[in-house]
A and B are shown apart, each in its own frame.
Chain A
Amino acid sequence: MTEEISGIKSKPVYNILQYDPKSRSNLLIAEDDGLIGLANLLSSSELIPSLTTNVMYSGSSIEKSNSKSYLSPDRYNKMSSFDSVDTLLLALPQALAKSQMGLRLYICGSEMFLWSVANIAKAAGMHKSEYNMQLIGSKARRVYCPHCEATSEGVTTDIHECEGCGLSLVNCDHFSREMGAYLGFRVDAEVHGEIPERQELYR
């Protein structure tokens, strides 16, 4: 039997991107359908057009040729498109190294994407009040296995097989922001082999 662990207070809660009026420059970062969140933000009347606003985007859901015009072109200075999320994440540290205090990040995409970006921001010295996150896209989880220290990406079910050690893990809502991952643990530790049916919960 699975012990139900619910209502855990470390689980992150996301909101719609809101423009920070104190910002001196803006960097908007999105993957796939997250572009919608950026578009909404750019159309916000509070956005100050004189400030530098740049966009970094990696996406396939919206036609690449369309993406630049999807956002109102007079509302941002420069958009950089990336072939993949990985190349975007590789370019981000350099962009931040050239930035100054007063920068705000607005991040939109799947949960895994949000935390990948947030952790790069943190490594650059940014505080959580300097970046905003909105979840548009997959709620699939990154799950950390304490037994073998591997993380499995894209987990949509409550129980999955660890990509590192093969054990069946149940993941709970205890979330590590440093890792951008949920905690998993062996589901049949008490009675080996007693593995309940898995349910898809995080699409």
Chain B
Amino acid sequence: MSTNFSLTSRVVRADQVTPLIKHFSFERVDGKPFGPFSAGSHVVIGMNDGTESHKNPYSLVGSSNNFMEYEIAVRLDSTGRGGSLFMHNNIEVGSEIEIGSPFNLFPVYKPAKKHLMIAGGVGITPFMAYIDEMNLMHSNFELHYSVRDFENGAFAKELQDKYPNQVKLYIQANDVMANFNEILDNQPLGTHVYVCGPHQMVADALRVADELGWPISSVHSEEFKAPDPGNPFTVTLAKSNREINVRSRESLLEALENANIEIPYSCRGGACGFCKTEVIDGEINHRDYFLTDAEKASGKCMMPCISRAQGDHLTLNL
């Protein structure tokens, strides 16, 4: 049984919420409900733009309608590899795409005394599901949400109306920036902080948390970053006796998939461990967050979604 199980789904709503952010809602083509999922889960959307296939992970927004639909938010990345561009320009109501099963690398920490959420832009997406869960569990929470401007901040008005005491908006257009020192200082024991948004924002928030003495067990973050490009290299597949090329702007995982070699995956960003692959030969440039130091040093395995060859060749046990 394949771990890359996916369902053909149809777009039932496509809203350009801001010039850069488009929301999509999907239903299964077989008419069955998707079913419940945990706050913080992501799914991988697979589509083909005619020349190549794209597989991108997206957080799921909170569920309504008895789990008939999934909702995601896609931020346009014009410097990216084309997936978000394709979704913005070509995916409309009625379009069909493949959706993988949800997996959660950013769950709510259940025993926390207080949940502190820090969101930037499209990073609000998982927190919409979080707030559903916080309400169910009657949890103590705070949300600090940075947007470019109020009108275009997805869910901003809804959040402020519903939770005036718990939600604080920081509107860049008004020159109001979130001050992580202020937010993270003087929080009571047992607080957990969750950060989701642009890379620099996440890095800044994590740095401040560290400086303020927050243990890493209380700090959680998620960002979906496309893998960084690197040198092109070739790969020998020992078991199938094939050679493939990995281009500079594609990941090893993508190159394998384009050559019709399916291996398990989930987050596509080096964190979940699903794509772990045995390496027989070649020096590895490890870029992941999953393998232990010992595993990396052994040179016997790697995460193809994000890591690459250090030199110009690798031999994999595939």
Does B191 count as interface, using CB distance less than 8 angstroms?
Answer: yes
B186–A127 contact, CB under 8 A?
Answer: no
Of B186, B189, B212, B218, which one neighbours A96 at CB under 8 angstroms?
Answer: B189
Are the C-beta atoms of A127 and B217 separated by less than 8 Å?
yes
Encode contact with B along A1-42: 1 for CB under 8 Å, 0 otherwise: 000000000000000000000111100000000000000000
A sample of 29 inter-chain contacts (CB < 8 A) reads A22-B210, A22-B213, A23-B213, A24-B212, A24-B213, A25-B213, A97-B188, A97-B189, A99-B189, A100-B185, A101-B184, A101-B187, A101-B189, A101-B191, A101-B212, A101-B213, A101-B214, A102-B212, A103-B213, A104-B213, A124-B190, A125-B111, A125-B112, A125-B113, A125-B188, A126-B189, A127-B217, A129-B217, A130-B217
Whole-angstrom CA separation of A114 from B187 in the bound complex = 26
Once A100-B186, A101-B218 are accepted as A-B contacts, the answer to whether A125 and B191 lie under 8 Å apart by CB is yes
**What's the Cα separation between A97 and B217 when bound, in Å?**
20
* A-binding residues in B (CB < 8 A): 111-114, 184-191, 210, 212-218
A173–B280 Cα distance when bound, in Å, is 43
Partner of B189, one of A22, A125, A129: A125
Closest to B187 in A: A101
Closest 7 CB pairs of A and B: A125-B190, A102-B213, A24-B213, A125-B113, A127-B217, A129-B215, A101-B187
Known A22-B210, A125-B112, A125-B113; contact A100-B215, beta-carbon cutoff 8 A: no
* A-chain residues with CB within 8 Å of residue B188 when the two chains form the complex: 97, 99-101, 125
Residues of the B chain whose Cβ atoms lie less than 8 Å from the Cβ of A127: 215, 217-218
A104 surroundings in chain B (CB, below 8 A): 213
On chain A, which size bracket covers the interface? 10 to 19
A23 CA / B210 CA spacing, docked (Å): 9
A22 to B184 Cα, complex, angstroms: 15
Chain B positions within 8 Å of A124 at CB level? 113, 189-190
The CA of A26 and the CA of B85, in the complex, are separated in Å by 51
| Binary B-proximity of A87-100 (CB < 8 A = 1, otherwise 0) | 00000000011011
CB neighbours (8 Å) of A22 from chain B are 210, 213, 215
The answer to whether B187 touches A100, judged by C-beta atoms less than 8 angstroms apart, is yes
CA–CA, A103 and B191, complex, Å: 12
Contacts of B186 on A, CB cut-off 8 Å?
Answer: 100
Given A125-B112, A125-B113, A102:B214 Cβ within 8 A: yes
Query: How far apart are the CA atoms of A24 and B211 in the complex, in Å?
Result: 8
CB contacts (< 8 Å) of B112 on chain A: these are 125
How near does chain A come to B1, taking the closest CB pair, in angstroms? 33
A127 CB, min distance to chain B CBs, angstroms: 4
Complex CA distance for A127 and B109, rounded to whole angstroms: 12
Instruction: Name the A residues within 8 Å of B210 (CB-CB).
Output: 22
Q: Which of A48-73 contact B (CB under 8 A)?
A: none
CB contacts (< 8 Å) of A97 on chain B: these are 188-189
CB distance from B181 to the nearest CB of A (A): 12
Most chain A beta-carbon neighbours within 10 Å: one of B111, B114, B189: B189
Query: Considering the chains assembled together, what is the distance between the CA atoms of A126 and B187 in angstroms?
Result: 13
Residues of B within 8 A of A23 (CB): 213
Q: For A126, what are the chain B residues with a Cβ–Cβ distance below 8 Å?
A: 189-190
Chain B residue, CB-CB nearest to A124: B189
